[in-house]
Chains A and B, each alone.
Chain A
Amino acid sequence: MRALLLTLACVTLAARDAGATDLVVGRGGAYTTITAALDAAKPGDRVVVRAGTYREPTLVIRTPRLTFEGEGWPVLDGDAKREVLVIAADDVTVRGIVAINTGISNLEDRAGIRARDVRNCVIEGNRLRKNLWGIYLQRSVDCVVRDNDITAEGVRQTESGNGIHLWYSPGARVERNRVSGHRDGIYFEFSSHGETRDNVSERSQRYGLHFMFSDSCNYERNTFRENNSGVAVMYSRGVRIADNRFERSWGSAAYGLLLKDIMGGEISGNTFDRNSTGLFVEGSSRLSVRGNVFTQNGWAAKVLADADDNTFTANRFSGNAFDVTTNSRSANSSFDGNWWDEYNGYDLNRDGVGDTAFHPVRLFAMVVEQHPAALLLLRSPLVSILDAAERVLPVLTPEALVDRRPLMRPPQ
Chain B
Amino acid sequence: MRRPVPPRRFAILAFALLLAACGGRQPEPIVLNEDQCGYCRMTISDARFGGEAVLPTGRVLKFDSPECMLSFARSTSAEQRGDLYIIDLQHPGTFVPVATAGFLQGTTMQGPMGGSMVGFASPAKAEEQRTMLGGRVMTWTELLADTASAGMGHH
Q: Do A and B bind each other?
A: yes
A residues with CB within 8 A of B: 106-107, 109, 157-158, 167, 183-184, 189-190, 205-207, 212-213, 228-229, 232, 234-235, 251-253, 258, 260, 282
B residues with CB within 8 A of A: 32-36, 40-43, 45, 47-48, 92, 110, 113-114, 132, 153-154
* Nearest CB in chain A: distance from B59 CB, A: 14
* 9 extra interface residue pairs, beta carbon distance < 8 Å, beyond A213-B114, A228-B43, A260-B41: A190-B154, A206-B43, A206-B45, A207-B43, A212-B153, A234-B40, A234-B42, A235-B153, A252-B34
Give Cα A206–Cα B33 distance, bound, in whole angstroms: 6
Q: Which of B33, B34, B132 has the most CB of A within 10 A?
A: B33
Give Cα A62–Cα B34 distance, bound, in whole angstroms: 41
For the complex of A and B, list the 6 residue pairs with the smallest distance between their C-beta atoms, beginning with the closest: A229-B43, A253-B36, A206-B45, A205-B33, A206-B43, A158-B32
A-B contact count (CB 8 A): 50
* Nearest CB in chain A: distance from B72 CB, A: 15
7 A-B pairs within 8 Å (CB atoms) are namely A157-B32, A183-B45, A184-B45, A228-B43, A229-B33, A253-B35, A253-B36
Cross-chain contact of A158 among B35, B41, B47 (Cβ < 8 A): B47
Given contact pairs A109-B110, A190-B114, A213-B153, A205 touches B45 in the complex (Cβ within 8 A): yes
* Nearest CB in chain B: distance from A216 CB, A: 14
Question: Which residues of the partner chain B approach A106 to less than 8 Å between Cβ atoms?
Answer: 48, 92
Give Cα A106–Cα B89 distance, bound, in whole angstroms: 9
* Nearest CB in chain B: distance from A242 CB, A: 24
Decide: A260 and B34 in contact? CB cutoff 8 A. Answer: no
Question: Which residues of the partner chain B approach A205 to less than 8 Å between Cβ atoms?
Answer: 33, 45
Question: Which residues of the partner chain A approach B154 to less than 8 Å between Cβ atoms?
Answer: 190, 213
* Nearest CB in chain A: distance from B88 CB, A: 12
Decide: B153 and A253 in contact? CB cutoff 8 A. Answer: no
- What residue of chain A has the Cβ atom nearest to residue B92's Cβ? A106
Decide: A157 and B110 in contact? CB cutoff 8 A. Answer: no
Give Cα A107–Cα B107 distance, bound, in whole angstroms: 12
Give Cα A88–Cα B33 distance, bound, in whole angstroms: 33
Give Cα A208–Cα B132 distance, bound, in whole angstroms: 33
Give Cα A282–Cα B36 distance, bound, in whole angstroms: 15
Give Cα A107–Cα B89 distance, bound, in whole angstroms: 10
Give Cα A258–Cα B40 distance, bound, in whole angstroms: 11
Question: Which residues of the partner chain A approach B33 to less than 8 Å between Cβ atoms?
Answer: 157-158, 183, 205-206, 228-229
Q: Which of B43, B114, B153 has the most CB of A within 10 A?
A: B43
Give Cα A411–Cα B110 distance, bound, in whole angstroms: 45
Give Cα A114–Cα B3 distance, bound, in whole angstroms: 78
* Nearest CB in chain B: distance from A23 CB, A: 35
